[in-house]
């Protein structure tokens, strides 16, 4: 399980919001900042076939009919220098943690690719994607991108990642009607906007931005998961149209109460860790709830815990550590939670022993 620090960059999660790339935090502090200071991007008119640092052919041992190539941390600067046209059946290309500044792919290769992973490079401008007609997954996380543009023609995209860039506005996504997963965590976004055409969207990741309210989500009828941790939210308003919502992650904000979830009856996971909620209320209708993450708030009443949660038959996990109800009586805290919710299976990070 994650440690609930509010980071949701590079997420591949089940219902516990586990970070699938454990090095993401480290990259944010080390690799990426190193790139910012140590490597200057070349001018836009630089010679496109720049030799890579090593004269060796990184792909000389690769079978010509391979459908997947993964070159991680190989100091690659130039995509053309890889001579990818040798691999006519290539569908998935991973070039993570390199020094690529431009997306410059042979058109024959681009047309066949379904997955392109350029996580942690030095790309400042989204361009060069005109021929990627079959692309389903595009990862441009941990780069230097300021504007989302030149991707609206990628109508087959299902997964799009722009985590840890310098993006201040959600834009340029019109036409991506098949998009299911959009990750924009750790940018400079202040407003949720321009998502109306994303009718298939199921997961929206917006952690570590500067968003003050959840709005403009009404057209996203298939949205199943929202992560908006470490922002500037003060309430849970704006979710009333999201009847399919199952997972909501809003830790590390400034939320004071839990009203606003009246229409979200399918909610299974609710995480409001590290907020300013003082009363456990407005949850009685959430009969499908399985996990409640409420650590480090101002909750003080075991009576509220029992009233709101005792009848939740699917509830397995609760986190209340760091609240007054735990800090005032740590020795009896776990027993009191068990009395309030007899069927609970996990309290904080510890499983309940069945006697």
Q: What is the pLDDT of residues 242-252, one digit of tens each?
A: 999 999 999 99
Span of 18-27, 232-241, 261-270, 273-282 with lowest mean pLDDT: 18-27
Under DSSP, is residue 302 helix (H, G, I), strand (E, B) or coil?
Answer: helix
Span of 21-30, 80-89, 97-106, 208-217 with lowest mean pLDDT: 21-30
CATH number at residue 219: 3.80.10.10
Domain of residue 225 covers 1-34+65-237
What pLDDT, on the 0 to 100 scale, is given for residue 54?
55
What pLDDT, on the 0 to 100 scale, is given for residue 56?
77
Span of 10-24, 180-194, 196-210 with lowest mean pLDDT: 10-24
Report yes or no: 240 and 262 within 8 Å, Cβ to Cβ: yes
Report yes or no: 275 and 255 within 8 Å, Cβ to Cβ: yes
Determine phi and psi for 81, rounding to 5 degrees: -65, -15
Segment 274-296 mean pLDDT: 98
Structure tokens at 89: 């059946």
pLDDT, tens digit (0-9, with 9 covering 90-100), for 63-97: 999 999 999 999 999 999 999 999 999 999 999 99
What pLDDT, on the 0 to 100 scale, is given for residue 53?
62
pLDDT averaged over every residue in the chain: 88
Span of 49-63, 95-109, 261-275, 288-302 with lowest mean pLDDT: 49-63
**Could you tell me if residue 131 is inside a domain?**
yes
pLDDT, tens digit (0-9, with 9 covering 90-100), for 164-180: 999 999 999 999 999 99
**Could you tell me if residue 55 is inside a domain?**
no
Percent of the chain with pLDDT over 70: 85
**Could you tell me if residue 271 is inside a domain?**
no
**Could you tell me if residue 246 is inside a domain?**
no
What pLDDT, on the 0 to 100 scale, is given for residue 55?
55
pLDDT at 325 exceeding the cut of 70: yes
- If one counts the domains in the chain, the total is 1
Long-range contacts of 306-311 (CB under 8 A, 24+ apart): 306/339, 306/340, 306/341, 307/280, 308/280, 308/281, 308/283, 308/284, 309/280, 309/283, 309/340, 309/341, 310/340, 310/341, 310/342, 311/284, 311/287
Determine phi and psi for 181, rounding to 5 degrees: -135, 120
How many other β-carbons are positioned within 10 Å of the β-carbon of residue 63? 9
Compute CA distances 158 → 171, 175, 224, whole Å.
Answer: 17, 12, 15
**Could you tell me if residue 164 is inside a domain?**
yes
**Could you tell me if residue 285 is inside a domain?**
no
What pLDDT, on the 0 to 100 scale, is given for residue 354?
72
What pLDDT, on the 0 to 100 scale, is given for residue 353?
83
**Could you tell me if residue 336 is inside a domain?**
no
Long-range contacts of 94-101 (CB under 8 A, 24+ apart): 94/68, 94/69, 94/70, 95/71, 95/121, 96/72, 96/120, 96/121, 97/31, 97/72, 97/73, 97/121, 98/71, 98/72, 98/73, 98/74, 99/35, 99/39, 99/75, 100/76, 101/41, 101/42, 101/46, 101/77
Compute CA distances 150 → 124, 175, 299, whole Å.
Answer: 13, 12, 47
**Could you tell me if residue 81 is inside a domain?**
yes
């Amino acid at each position: 399980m994650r440690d609930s620090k509010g980071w949701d960059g590079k997420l591949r999660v089940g219902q516990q919001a586990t970070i699938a790339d454990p090095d993401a935090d480290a990259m944010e502090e080390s690799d990426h900042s190193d790139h910012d200071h140590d490597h200057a991007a070349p001018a836009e008119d630089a010679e496109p076939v720049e030799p890579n640092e090593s004269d060796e052919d990184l792909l000389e041992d690769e079978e010509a009919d391979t459908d997947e190539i993964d070159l991680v941390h190989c100091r690659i600067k130039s995509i053309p220098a890889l001579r990818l046209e040798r691999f006519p059946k290539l569908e998935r290309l991973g070039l993570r943690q390199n020094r690529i500044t431009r997306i410059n792919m042979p058109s024959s290769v681009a047309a066949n690719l379904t997955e392109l992973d350029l996580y942690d490079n030095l790309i400042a401008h989204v361009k060069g994607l005109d021929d990627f007609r079959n692309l389903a997954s595009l990862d441009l996380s941990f780069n230097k991108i300021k504007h989302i543009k030149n991707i609206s023609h990628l109508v087959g995209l299902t997964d799009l990642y722009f985590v840890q860039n310098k993006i201040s506005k959600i834009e340029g996504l019109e036409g991506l009607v098949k998009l299911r997963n959009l990750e924009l965590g750790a940018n400079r976004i202040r407003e949720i906007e321009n998502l109306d055409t994303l009718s298939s969207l199921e997961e929206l990741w917006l952690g570590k931005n500067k968003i003050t309210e959840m709005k403009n989500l009404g057209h996203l009828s298939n949205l199943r998961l929202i992560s908006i941790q470490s922002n500037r939210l003060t309430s849970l308003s704006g979710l009333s149209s999201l009847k399919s919502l199952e997972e909501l992650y809003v830790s590390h904000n400034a939320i004071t109460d839990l009203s606003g979830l009246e229409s979200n009856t399918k909610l299974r996971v609710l995480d409001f860790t590290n907020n300013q909620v003082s009363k456990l209320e407005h949850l009685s209708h959430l009969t499908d709830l399985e996990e409640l993450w409420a650590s480090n708030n101002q909750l003080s009443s075991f009576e509220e815990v029992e009233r709101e949660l005792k009848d939740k038959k699917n509830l397995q996990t609760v986190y209340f550590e760091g609240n007054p109800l735990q800090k005032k009586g740590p020795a009896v805290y776990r027993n009191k939670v068990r009395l309030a919710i007899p069927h609970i299976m996990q309290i904080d990070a510890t499983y309940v022993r069945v006697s």
